[in-house]
Amino acid sequence: MALLPILEFPDPRLRTKGALVDPAEVTTPAFQTLLDDMFETMYAAPGIGLAAAQVDVHKRFMVIDLTEDHSAPMVFINPQIVDKQGGQVYQEGCLSVPGIFADVTRADTITVQYLDRSGQAQELTTDGLLAVCIQHEIDHLEGKLFVDYLSPLKREMVRKKLAKARKHVA
């Protein structure tokens, strides 16, 4: 397994909409290795979700694990939200926007259809943190970031703060 570089805002590659994954590709050794590498990268970051777009792979899949002991890894391939209900405000962060958190309104309960790691069709109805995480990662697959929910002024402040932080690291 290998750690993959995570793209950071405002990298324009984060704005690329992901293409559907060919179901025949899902069970190939190369795709399975990429999933393992994404989990390793997400855990090392550390994070609870990682979309393919964040590691410069512009296809529609993501990995999620909400557990602290990494015991519940989930793979969502070609996810599509087919029902949304309610609304909640949740403070979100993102591995592509390090150190920044902001309130985002998301559906409280969602139903998502997707292929799992073995290529089997699944449907999941969920709420709470998992629902928020799925919506956040699907946004990445659409080329959208949580900072897009902020006002233009706040988004520019985030961009400047990250640019300043990068200068101090260099």
Mapping DSSP to helix (H, G, I), strand (E, B) and coil, where does residue 165 land?
A: helix
Segments making up each domain of the chain, as ranges: 12-169
Binding residues: 94, 136, 140
CB 59 within 8 A of CB 38: no
Catalytic residue among 68, 123, 137, 156: 137
pLDDT of 1 strictly over 90: no
Q: Please compute the mean of the pLDDT values over residues 94-99 and round it to a whole number.
A: 95
Q: What is the pLDDT of residues 29-54, one digit of tens each?
A: 999 999 999 999 999 999 999 999 99
Helices (H), 120-151: 128-141
Active site residue 142: no
Q: What is the pLDDT of residues 57-95, one digit of tens each?
A: 999 999 999 999 999 999 999 999 999 999 999 999 999
CA 53/CA 39 separation, integer angstroms: 14
Q: 12-169 has which fold? A: Peptide Deformylase (3.90.45)
Q: What is the pLDDT of residues 105-147, one digit of tens each?
A: 999 999 999 999 999 999 999 999 999 999 999 999 999 999 9
Instruction: Return the structure tokens found at 70.
Output: 């990494």
Binding residues for Fe cation: 94, 136, 140
Q: Count Cα neighbours of 157 within 13 Å in the Cβ-side half-sphere.
A: 9
Cα R_g (the chain), whole angstroms: 16
